[in-house]
Structure 1
Amino acid sequence: MNNALSTLIFFLLLTTITLAQDFEVSGRVKDQNNLPLVFANVLLKNKDSVLLKGSATDEEGLFKIENIKAGTYLLSASYLDNLSETLVLTVTSDVSLDDLIIEQAEMELDEVEVTFKKPTIEQKADRLVFNVVNTSLAQGNIWDILKQTPGVIIINDKINIKGSSNIGVMINGKLVNIPQSDIVNLLSGSSGNNVESVEVILNPPAKYSAEGGLLLNIKMKKNLIAGYNGSIYNRYTQAVFPKHMIGTDHFFKGKKTDFTLTYSFRQNKNLNRFTDVTNFFDTSNTVDEVWTTEQKTINRSKQHNISGFFDYQINDKNSLSFSTINSFSVPANRFITSETLIEDTAGNLDSSFYTTNNSDYDVFNTAYYLDWTHRFKKKGENITLASNYTYYDYDRGQDLNTDFFDTDGEVTGENDFTTHSGQKTSLYSAQVDYTNPIKENSTLETGLRYSGISSESTITQEGFDRTQPGINPTEAGVFDYKEKIMAGYVSLNNSWKDWQLNMGLRSEYTKTEGDLDTSVNPVKNSYLEFFPSVSLQHKLSDKHNLALRYYRRITRPTYSDLNPFQYFQSNNAVVEGNPYLRPATRNYVSVEYNFDRSYSLEVYYFHKKNDFFEQVVQDNETNLLRFLSVNLESNITYGAEFRWNKGLTKFWDTYLLLSYYYKENGFTDIDTGAILDNSIWTSNIRFNNYFTLLKDRSLYADVLFRYSAPTVFGNSNRESTSQLTLSFSKSILKRRASISFSIEDVFNDGNYFSTRDYLNQDNSSFSRRETRLFFVGFRYKFGNNRIRDNKKQKSTDEGERI
């Protein structure tokens, strides 16, 4: 009796434990061609068809629904308008399902809200993907997102990846054809909430222009559900001066159309301070004067950004896409004040001068993209025609006034002059791409591209005191630059069970002509270059992968670099372009080992021929600081990079990058013509942590740290910098609204100190930008923010150099 009672109690307890235990259901969703479906919705309902839980598939089509009580349920998967069969599940333990295949079955979905957290950082064969939606950075602007994107380093508002600053920026796969400075303005004035992800493309396919080295592709969100939704937002930034941005986004999806419209207005007042110390040499190569300049620059601007994306599904085989990106600042002002003390080597004041530079400027940029795609009967075979037109207009007026003082502070002279300069650039391109899966595991891509650039730069300067040494500006001039590029490419992408091989070859014929109206003969150049690329990846086992990458690229000088005019920033600082700059070519090769998709070790080498940059040179005869556009003799970098990317818990993702490399720049001394080397072993550290907090996952917190060791740039040596950023975002009002705030560069250690010390060059620069920033923002969403699509029909399948 006791044994029977004990057995009964045991089974009762076992049943109770079993019924109380939580289980999970997992599986994979594929299409009818046995390919995984990414971001398909998987819904779990009770026997009365009441939705209980939901999930979504990852990049391999896998899903998992956790914390399920024992019982009987209904489960189905959906992808856009298509649904799988509905399965009846009896759950008494963990369930691993056979593949769910999407079929064209009709089914009504109740109004539900399914949330899914994709991995914050994904390492793929040729790129690194940063999913912004999982972070509080989505509440900032796009430029803030790039600052914190793994693998990306922003130095003085210039994007650097793996030691290269020649980076192409794309939005939804379309190159942004505006100058680097205006890219900063455009992205700083664009809401990060519209960004789905940022792709750091490490080995760009042959279909992309060979211009630049690596690519950053900013993928914007699309409205994947029928109907309309939108948002309004407001963001306030406090640094030394306040800044403010407001904007609105609108998304519409219909039966055949998708439409996105965004607008933002940004009012800025930025402060940048410089300290330049120059030890000028006499004719015997002995320092005889020390010039110390304290400069303060205040930029005021009111900037408008308007972008639109329109997709139209003409029929099952044809689709049309139109996009426009527009940015303009009218009016804007830059006011520079600088005081220069001239002392002897003992520190005794000899004289001084004070300069004001008041400059008003207008910037207008507009770009239009039109794409047409035709899909053939064969799955995956298509042809695309793409065209682009970009117009850029820059106009600046400048009043520069200098007063000279003796040791007693009495005025001894003055030098006042005015400058009016402008640049108008038109860029147009057309490209045809053809894709054909020639075999089950091989896809052929080929295409042709033509682009033409026409740029006119003008300058008028007057009022100079000709008795001042070194003052010899261009009084008036017009510089016309024309460029034509004809390109063709072919690539073959192969994927087998454990191997992936992508091969491509691109050729580009370039013809340029620069014509300065004050010179006798125009500068002409033409050249044909070939650009091979290879990506080979081998899956050694379930957790071990090996990859080999090689590519060759080209970087052409920016139009402002080619501009031969002298622009004075102060009485002894002048910026000069160089119409004789040569294009730079770059060879890159790397081997990468990956373990468990979380640990990566990459060894790489690249050599850049004829690299160019703005070199700071002191002219000891005229006491000028010259900012010259020059070609380097060599630019070599090699080293190793370790990456750790891991979801430590359900609420904590982390990313660690450790980079150690050798960098060598060979440059020509302007005075002697001697070739000198500037080299160093250096390192970078990046540690990003992303937290998703609270039971309803409505609070995001990010802790981001970056350290850059001392390094070299041309003839300059740069000291180390570091930055710590804290960001928070909280959803409120049933996720209709969100509030956010962040502190960037908490310890104010993100500014740059550079020195140049060789032969008769001995000078330093300390740049102090507003790197410590406090942000606070608010966003409110309206319209259709839930899954409400009950349709039952079958769904169908150069320019940055301005």
Structure 2
Amino acid sequence: MNSFIKKALCMLLVLYAGSYLKAQNNSTKIIGVLIEDATSLAIPYATVVLHDKTSKKIIVGTTSNDKGAFSITTTHNNFYLEISFMGFKTKTITTFNFINKKADLGNIILTTDKQALDEVVVTGEVSKTVFKLDKRVFNVGADISSTGASALEVLNNVPSVNVNIEGEISLRGSTGVQILINGKPSVLADESSNALGTITADMIESIEVITNPSAKYEASGTAGILNIILKKEEKKGWNGAVSLNTGTPDNHSIGLSLNRRTESFNLFAQLGAGYRSIPKKSEAINTDLVNNEVIFSNGTESRDETFYNLTLGTDYYINDLNVITLSGNFAYEVEEQPSETNFSYFDATNSLISSWVRNEITDATNPKYTYELNYKKEFKNNEEHTLLFSALGRFFGKDQSSEFTNTTISGTDSNSEQETETNFKQANYTFKIDYTNPISNIYTLETGAQYVINDVGNDYEVRDVSNGVFVVDEDLTNDFEYNQKVLGVYVTGAYEKEKWGIKAGLRVEHTNLTTLLTNTNEANEQNFTNIFPTLHSSYKVAEDFSLQAGYSKRIYRPGLRDLNPFFNIRNNFNIRVGNPNLQPEFTDSYELTSIYKIGKASLSSSFYHQYTTDMVQQVSTYVDNVTISTPENIGTDSAFGFETNGKYRPNNWLTITGNVNFNYFDRKGSYETQIFDFSGSQWSSKLGSKIGLPADIDLELTGNYQSGYKTVQGSITGFVFLDVGVRKKIFKGKAIVNLGVRDLFESRNFEQFVSQTTFETYSFTQRGRFVTLGISYGFGKGEAMTYSGGRRR
């Protein structure tokens, strides 16, 4: 019996093998590579299908790989090949040249189908905004996702968000926006890079706009938060961009961004290098009203940097529910700061006592690095049921030396020499865990914790020449240590139905701050615990009109610059000094916002009230013709304001954006014997337009106005300036030429007056006009864009 079974199995195996070999002998293979007509780039993930010529039914299908190549095998002999990809005309091939049962079609050119794209824009799902309790969610529809735009261009379609031609993002007219990807920090979202250009519109599901953060976010906030939610199923292959830029004053850089998406990994990298120069003109007048003596100073200074930047990172998708992100960035700057300042000293009779010139030579090296680890877990019952852990470390160092030389021009001998040396190190660490649980369609619970460590050391030494030898000036030398730890925990609960909802939260933060001036052994320690409640509500009046109301308590913790008794002796008649005893200021913020659409315009208007205690303000004192400016806690500030911003896009070639913010304030306070009770107002506005010209040329004009306003001891004057940008697309947007002019008329000037009974001071600074020219090329699905080399921190 066993022998019979064995013989039967052997016979079946032989028959199966024979039929398999026969099928293999009758099979044919077709291969080819798909190429774009305009750019000759490969087309990944296109659909390739064999159809039966008679029945038109699908025989077999496949997709092209990330290099555009495909291979398809069949035993049929009566077929045709059909190739399709969104945005391109479908290609049908009926004739094949088989050699040894293999047909190599070589490079197959697909042509762009503009009409198909237009049809998608008209008939596909349109992008729209959905209002949540403490945020607005902009869902990306087919009108944007099918256009091949970058993440920055998608952001520019979001109401209240504006992206200028150089890639700087603002929210409700304010910069300093925090960008998150899938709810967590990412090197891809770093504003100092152009890595957002490697994320395309069809990878993005939605963008969350948060202007008044809940208790989930730390109490010392930013101008707002933009959270980019990516589609899970998007696996895009190679994306990238390379750029070359130049400008005047000197601003030259080269940058490369890469992004590789596979089934399990998302790898990203960026490297760049360049040289930039940031000049500044300044003028100051110090007047002693008791002795009627005057010190005039004016001069120029510059910050010249050679910089290098490298970023590496990866997202590892363990499975559909778990992802780990590991990334790092290293940057290195070689810095020079030359300056020349002319001084003139006049007595009470307006006679010139002395004039001299002060020259500075400063050299510095600045290493910076950042590293982060993120883990995100989603639960099976709901994709919004998540656990997120993140650890972030940052380091910044500065090794700087300066030489100052005073050379007498006329009058009293003012010759002197000074040297300074700075050894600065700053390390920041952030550990955070967030848990979100949508208990039902109506109720949501959030909880989490965050621990932040700031550790700073600044060793600053000043040396004067005495008898031909440099001797340490103990009065100006200091070694300052600053250590701050903040532990925060929070919980929020939300009730939300289709038209109405409410969300309440509570955050508790404990701060431990220690400072030490080692050369005098002056120590200061602060320990305090604060409670930060938040409350948000929204009501959907109609499809295009919603109301949101919010309350939050915020804190401003003094930083190193505020606390360090540091003397900058570039101009030793105008000195800024820190205050180690400075206390944090607290603000209760109330806001009522309406969001509505009128035709093709989207508008957002807010009434707000902010009440601040222990307000921090700069207070100037005057000793021996030297103005010393120090931050002090002087009292309270009660501010009422109205802000409105809008975006109007009447057609495909014109977009107009505007922002107006009016603020009335009433301040009450005192410092020593001075009373600082006064009220005033200030307002700002921004009007921008993007104009699409023929030949794929975009023109951008942005005008800004900042009114003057009162300060605790004087006033600051207003200014107006205009930025201009021109962008030309080449190869259907794969390459871009950018021309930008900041402050076209050199009118962005900072002018401040301080007027007291015993002294008056005047200061003026001007940056001037900046012109940049760049060319960038995007490959894969990457979008060409400008690489700035990173913004200074």
**TM-score range for the pair, normalised by the shorter chain length:** 0.7 to 0.9
Alignment partner of 1:378 is 2:375: no
**Alpha-carbon distance change, 233 to 678 in structure 1, aligned in 2, over 3 angstroms:** farther
Q: Which residue of 2 aligns with 1:247?
A: 255
Letter in 1 for 2:218: S
Which whole-Å CA distance do the structure 2 matches of 1:562 and 1:195 have between them?
Answer: 41
Moved more, 488-497 or 550-559: 488-497
Letter in 1 for 2:158: E
**Alpha-carbon distance change, 353 to 387 in structure 1, aligned in 2, over 3 angstroms:** same
Q: Residues 630-658 of structure 1: CA distance to partner in whole angstroms, max 9, x if unpaired?
A: 33423332121222322222222212222
Q: Residues 704-734 of structure 1: CA distance to partner in whole angstroms, max 9, x if unpaired?
A: 1111111245534111111222212121124
Q: Which residue of 2 aligns with 1:710?
A: 708
Alignment partner of 1:342 is 2:345: yes
Which whole-Å CA distance do the structure 1 matches of 2:287 and 2:185 have between them?
Answer: 43
Which whole-Å CA distance do the structure 1 matches of 2:210 and 2:604 have between them?
Answer: 16
- Asked if the contact 1:196–1:219 (Cα under 8 Å) also holds between the matched residues in 2, the reply is no
Please show how residues 540-559 of structure 1 align to structure 2 within 5 Å: 540-559=541-560
- One of 629, 639, 643 as aligned partner of 2:631: 629
Moved more, 555-564 or 44-53: 44-53
Moved more, 525-534 or 41-50: 41-50
Q: Residues 753-785 of structure 1: CA distance to partner in whole angstroms, max 9, x if unpaired?
A: 111113323111111112x22221101123356
Which whole-Å CA distance do the structure 1 matches of 2:514 and 2:568 have between them?
Answer: 22
1:435 deviation in Å?
A: 0.9
Counterpart of 2:673 in 1: which secondary structure? Answer: coil
**Alpha-carbon distance change, 308 to 535 in structure 1, aligned in 2, over 3 angstroms:** farther
**Alpha-carbon distance change, 152 to 596 in structure 1, aligned in 2, over 3 angstroms:** closer
1:588 deviation in Å?
A: 1.0
- Asked if the contact 1:279–1:291 (Cα under 8 Å) also holds between the matched residues in 2, the reply is yes
Q: Which residue of 1 aligns with 2:173?
A: 152
Q: Residues 214-235 of structure 1: CA distance to partner in whole angstroms, max 9, x if unpaired?
A: 3355869999552112221111
Q: Which residue of 2 aligns with 1:441?
A: 442
**Alpha-carbon distance change, 357 to 257 in structure 1, aligned in 2, over 3 angstroms:** same
Which whole-Å CA distance do the structure 1 matches of 2:568 and 2:419 have between them?
Answer: 11
Q: Which residue of 1 aligns with 2:655?
A: 653
Q: Which residue of 1 aligns with 2:323?
A: 319
Which whole-Å CA distance do the structure 2 matches of 1:560 and 1:310 have between them?
Answer: 35
1:297 deviation in Å?
A: 0.5
Which whole-Å CA distance do the structure 2 matches of 1:364 and 1:429 have between them?
Answer: 20
1:457 deviation in Å?
A: 1.7
Q: Which residue of 2 aligns with 1:269?
A: 277
Which whole-Å CA distance do the structure 2 matches of 1:199 and 1:243 have between them?
Answer: 34
1:577 deviation in Å?
A: 1.6
Identity of aligned residues (%): 19
Counterpart of 2:488 in 1: which secondary structure? Answer: strand
Letter in 2 for 1:778: I
Q: Which residue of 2 aligns with 1:368?
A: 371
Alignment partner of 1:774 is 2:771: yes
**Alpha-carbon distance change, 152 to 115 in structure 1, aligned in 2, over 3 angstroms:** closer
Which whole-Å CA distance do the structure 1 matches of 2:639 and 2:308 have between them?
Answer: 40
Alignment partner of 1:235 is 2:245: yes
**Alpha-carbon distance change, 169 to 338 in structure 1, aligned in 2, over 3 angstroms:** farther
- One of 115, 120, 124 as aligned partner of 2:156: 120
Which whole-Å CA distance do the structure 1 matches of 2:186 and 2:639 have between them?
Answer: 27
Q: Which residue of 2 aligns with 1:747?
A: 745
Q: Residues 302-361 of structure 1: CA distance to partner in whole angstroms, max 9, x if unpaired?
A: 1223233421100122110123233321x2111121111122456432222321222111
1:293 deviation in Å?
A: 0.6
Counterpart of 1:214 in 2: which secondary structure? Answer: coil
Moved more, 252-261 or 648-657: 648-657
Counterpart of 2:371 in 1: which secondary structure? Answer: strand
Q: Residues 74-130 of structure 1: CA distance to partner in whole angstroms, max 9, x if unpaired?
A: x999xxxxxxxxxxxxxxxxxxxxxxx99xxxxxxxxx976697583534xxxx433
Which whole-Å CA distance do the structure 1 matches of 2:454 and 2:387 have between them?
Answer: 26
Which whole-Å CA distance do the structure 2 matches of 1:196 and 1:551 have between them?
Answer: 35
- Asked if the contact 1:666–1:714 (Cα under 8 Å) also holds between the matched residues in 2, the reply is no
Which whole-Å CA distance do the structure 2 matches of 1:271 and 1:655 have between them?
Answer: 31
- Asked if the contact 1:460–1:476 (Cα under 8 Å) also holds between the matched residues in 2, the reply is yes
1:53 deviation in Å?
A: 4.9
- Asked if the contact 2:171–2:223 (Cα under 8 Å) also holds between the matched residues in 1, the reply is no
- Asked if the contact 2:375–2:390 (Cα under 8 Å) also holds between the matched residues in 1, the reply is yes
Q: Which residue of 2 aligns with 1:599?
A: 603
1:551 deviation in Å?
A: 1.0
Which whole-Å CA distance do the structure 2 matches of 1:477 and 1:115 have between them?
Answer: 52
Alignment partner of 1:129 is 2:138: no
- Asked if the contact 1:422–1:458 (Cα under 8 Å) also holds between the matched residues in 2, the reply is yes
- Asked if the contact 2:737–2:774 (Cα under 8 Å) also holds between the matched residues in 1, the reply is yes
1:464 deviation in Å?
A: 5.9
- One of 776, 780, 783 as aligned partner of 1:783: 780
Which whole-Å CA distance do the structure 1 matches of 2:89 and 2:502 have between them?
Answer: 43
Which whole-Å CA distance do the structure 1 matches of 2:250 and 2:448 have between them?
Answer: 48
Alignment partner of 1:617 is 2:620: yes
- Asked if the contact 1:643–1:656 (Cα under 8 Å) also holds between the matched residues in 2, the reply is yes
Counterpart of 1:463 in 2: which secondary structure? Answer: strand
- One of 219, 224, 231 as aligned partner of 1:210: 219
Counterpart of 1:381 in 2: which secondary structure? Answer: strand
Which whole-Å CA distance do the structure 2 matches of 1:129 and 1:775 have between them?
Answer: 24
Counterpart of 1:211 in 2: which secondary structure? Answer: coil
Which whole-Å CA distance do the structure 1 matches of 2:147 and 2:223 have between them?
Answer: 38
Which whole-Å CA distance do the structure 2 matches of 1:637 and 1:65 have between them?
Answer: 45
- Asked if the contact 2:353–2:411 (Cα under 8 Å) also holds between the matched residues in 1, the reply is no
Q: Which residue of 2 aligns with 1:226?
A: 236
- Asked if the contact 2:535–2:552 (Cα under 8 Å) also holds between the matched residues in 1, the reply is yes
Q: Which residue of 1 aligns with 2:687?
A: 687
**Alpha-carbon distance change, 565 to 754 in structure 1, aligned in 2, over 3 angstroms:** closer
Structure 1, unmatched stretches of 5+, are: 1-40, 57-62, 69-74, 78-100, 103-111, 154-158, 160-166, 178-182, 787-799
Which whole-Å CA distance do the structure 2 matches of 1:801 and 1:666 have between them?
Answer: 35
- Asked if the contact 2:434–2:449 (Cα under 8 Å) also holds between the matched residues in 1, the reply is yes
Structure 2, unmatched stretches of 5+, are: 1-84, 94-109, 127-140, 202-206, 784-790
Counterpart of 2:565 in 1: which secondary structure? Answer: coil
Moved more, 654-663 or 576-585: 654-663
Letter in 2 for 1:676: F
- Asked if the contact 1:678–1:715 (Cα under 8 Å) also holds between the matched residues in 2, the reply is no
**Alpha-carbon distance change, 707 to 521 in structure 1, aligned in 2, over 3 angstroms:** closer
- Asked if the contact 1:667–1:714 (Cα under 8 Å) also holds between the matched residues in 2, the reply is no
Letter in 1 for 2:172: G
**Alpha-carbon distance change, 601 to 129 in structure 1, aligned in 2, over 3 angstroms:** closer
Which whole-Å CA distance do the structure 1 matches of 2:319 and 2:362 have between them?
Answer: 53
**Alpha-carbon distance change, 401 to 592 in structure 1, aligned in 2, over 3 angstroms:** same
1:747 deviation in Å?
A: 2.2
1:384 deviation in Å?
A: 1.3
Counterpart of 1:637 in 2: which secondary structure? Answer: strand
Letter in 1 for 2:691: F
- Asked if the contact 2:221–2:554 (Cα under 8 Å) also holds between the matched residues in 1, the reply is yes
Please show how residues 162-181 of structure 1 align to structure 2 within 5 Å: 169-170=178-179, 172=181
- Asked if the contact 1:46–1:52 (Cα under 8 Å) also holds between the matched residues in 2, the reply is no
Q: Which residue of 2 aligns with 1:35?
A: none
Counterpart of 1:569 in 2: which secondary structure? Answer: coil
- Asked if the contact 2:476–2:567 (Cα under 8 Å) also holds between the matched residues in 1, the reply is no
Which whole-Å CA distance do the structure 2 matches of 1:499 and 1:48 have between them?
Answer: 53
- Asked if the contact 2:277–2:305 (Cα under 8 Å) also holds between the matched residues in 1, the reply is yes
**Alpha-carbon distance change, 216 to 152 in structure 1, aligned in 2, over 3 angstroms:** farther
Q: Which residue of 1 aligns with 2:540?
A: 539
Q: Which residue of 1 aligns with 2:568?
A: 567
Letter in 2 for 1:751: N
In the alignment of these two chains, the number of paired residues is 649
